Amino acid sequence: MTDQLTIALAQINPTVGAIRANLDRVRDARAGAAQRGVDLVVFPELVATGYPPEDLVLKPLVLDLVEQSVTALAAETADGGPALLVGTPWRLDGRLHNAAVLLEGGRIAEIRLKADLPNYGVFDEKRVFAAGPLPQPVLFRGVSLGVMICEDMWTSSSAAALARTGAELLVVINGSPFETDKAGVRIALANRRVEETGLPLLYVNQVGGQDELVFDGASFAINADRRLAAQAPGFREHLLVTHWQRGEDGRWSCRDGERAAPVTEPAAIYQAMMVGLRDYVNKNRFPGVLLGLSGGIDSALTAVVAVDALGADRVHAVMMPSPYTSNESTEDAVEVANLLGCKLDTLSIEPVMAAFDAVLAPAFAGTDADITEENIQSRARGMVLMALSNKFGAMVLSTGNKSEMSVGYATLYGDMCGGYSVLKDVYKTTVFKLARWRNQHLPDGAEGPAGRVVPERVLTKAPSAELKHDQTDQDTLPPYEALDDILECLIEREMGPAGIVARGHDPDTVNRVWHMLDRAEYKRRQAPPGVKITRRGFGKDRRYPITNRFLSVLA
């Protein structure tokens, strides 16, 4: 039995399906830990496959490769170096489990199974995994470790079972996605488990982007007195080494170690957008990105995030003026590109508009111009961007925000076209806050320039799609401050109209926004993926029927 342990928390960035590459990252982390005298390296949930693997783990070929690769990795621990606690899918008795395996002494020494499978929000683990029993401790060098897997910590059952059966130290492996305010929730839940059991706790979280999800790392160690002893930085790979000592009373405590400052909003939101975009582009092997740069706030912020995430040489902006594009918008787009140092082309869509007018003239004879002609402009821009994408290989970024996507203030196959959306889960009012913040801060890991990157006029002029003369967003939408509050009440809080009106909103406006939100579901179903920021992002978080007449009883 030992009285000292050195445990490293390895928050690494796996890629779903890259099983051999993921385990090579595990090997690299183990080699670094060995140089620092580490006894045990703890890795995130399902690190062998990457998280979340979704239906990929229903393929027997995938599971065969996982088991072969993990077994080979286990054999390498016969060298006397650090043991490994690795998250992986694992088959037992004909059932597939979300598991943690202890690799020590050249073998798979212990296996523990996730007991509490989440089935809400972005999670649907019950679809592919079988639940395990309440866990019992893992014996490691004479120390009883209470291993839990992510959701097992969110309720009290697993921690209580481990405490009853002799655990001395709780160890939680996680694939916990970022959303606003979630870091504080994790710490609070960990403290609750510590208070309930009287045991210290180690928490390791994945880092990096996977489709719409971003994992923010920020792994930590908490002592039995609920004092934070160590914390890793957010949003980047890191090996957090913690040193543990058994006291005269037999209880374990962690010496004070590295404590990175937490990433708070709005920096956390910005980092999530950067990491999400960078990993989506790089993991899917796109050479770079394309976007329409209009001179407005949304496309400006999207361009800034893209340059910060990928570097200016991988961002190609295109200005596509029409007869309704103001001189100010053209000037602002040029200034944004100059501030960022990215390529900017100007390709007028006026010839495309004229061609469509000629083609449709016989069919539209006797009708007045309306939103149809406005949408043609948007779709012409989408066609130009997709042509450039097809020709040169860069992925198109759509630039719409959550406010617009909520109420359908976007054109299918026009400004909605693209492979990824950085602002998909960011309300318009937050877009302005992020742009102002970025003008004053250079984010950690950003490849873009320091200083002002969004011109002041872009921040102060009235938002407009510029699809007709003297158009502003507020011709169609309520002021964004009111709209965003109503939308947050409807989407994140699932509030009814009476409660929203009680917050000071006009009843007719609330009812109109509700109708717009509901009618736009068919558009959102066809939208590109984008970074999840809020608790209820459009996609897996919020699954509403397209055909839905519930609102008719409220009209």
* In this structure, CATH architecture of domain 267-475: 3-Layer(aba) Sandwich (3.40)
Percent of the chain exceeding pLDDT 70 equals: 98
Note if 45 is an active site residue: yes
Average pLDDT, the chain: 94
pLDDT at 280: 98
Assess whether pLDDT exceeds 80 at residue 53. yes
Q: Token digits for 249?
A: 């009373």
In CATH terms, is domain 4-254 a member of 3.40.1440.10?
no
Assess whether pLDDT exceeds 60 at residue 339. yes
Percent of the chain exceeding pLDDT 90 equals: 89
Across residues 371-386, what is the average pLDDT?
A: 95
Across residues 235-257, what is the average pLDDT?
A: 95
Assess whether pLDDT exceeds 90 at residue 290. yes
Determine which of 189-193, 254-258, 412-416, 470-474 has the lowest per-residue pLDDT on average: 470-474
Tell me the pLDDT tens digit for each residue of 327-337.
999 999 999 99
Note if 402 is an active site residue: no
pLDDT at 42: 98
Q: What is the CA radius of gyration of the chain?
A: 26
Confidence of residue 551 (pLDDT cuts 50, 70, 90): low
Confidence of residue 547 (pLDDT cuts 50, 70, 90): confident
| Beta-carbon count within 10 A of 161 CB | 20
Active-site choice (150, 342, 417, 489):
150
pLDDT at 555: 44
Q: How far apart are CA 348 and CA 325, in angstroms?
A: 10
Reduce the DSSP state of residue 104 to 3 states and report it: strand
Across residues 452-478, what is the average pLDDT?
A: 81
Where are the domains positioned within the chain? 4-254, 267-475
Confidence of residue 122 (pLDDT cuts 50, 70, 90): confident
Confidence of residue 124 (pLDDT cuts 50, 70, 90): confident
Cα atoms in the Cβ-side hemisphere of radius 13 Å centred on 554 = 16
Across residues 522-544, what is the average pLDDT?
A: 89
Across residues 394-405, what is the average pLDDT?
A: 96
Q: How far apart are CA 545 and CA 541, in angstroms?
A: 13
Confidence of residue 472 (pLDDT cuts 50, 70, 90): confident
Sign of the CA dihedral running 215, 218, 221, 222: negative
pLDDT at 312: 98
Tell me the pLDDT tens digit for each residue of 197-210.
999 999 999 999 99
For residue 125, the 8-state DSSP code is G
| pTM of the predicted protein model | 0.94
Q: How far apart are CA 375 and CA 413, in angstroms?
A: 9
Q: How far apart are CA 238 and CA 10, in angstroms?
A: 6
Note if 489 is an active site residue: no
Active-site choice (110, 114, 488, 532):
114
Helix (H) or strand (E) holding 182: helix 182-197
Helix (H) or strand (E) holding 292: strand 289-292
Cα 122–chain centre separation: 11
Assess whether pLDDT exceeds 90 at residue 465. no
Assess whether pLDDT exceeds 50 at residue 49. yes
Tokens 């939103």 — which residue? 371
Assess whether pLDDT exceeds 90 at residue 544. no
Q: Token digits for 220?
A: 């930590």
Across residues 461-480, what is the average pLDDT?
A: 76
Confidence of residue 474 (pLDDT cuts 50, 70, 90): confident
pLDDT at 553: 44
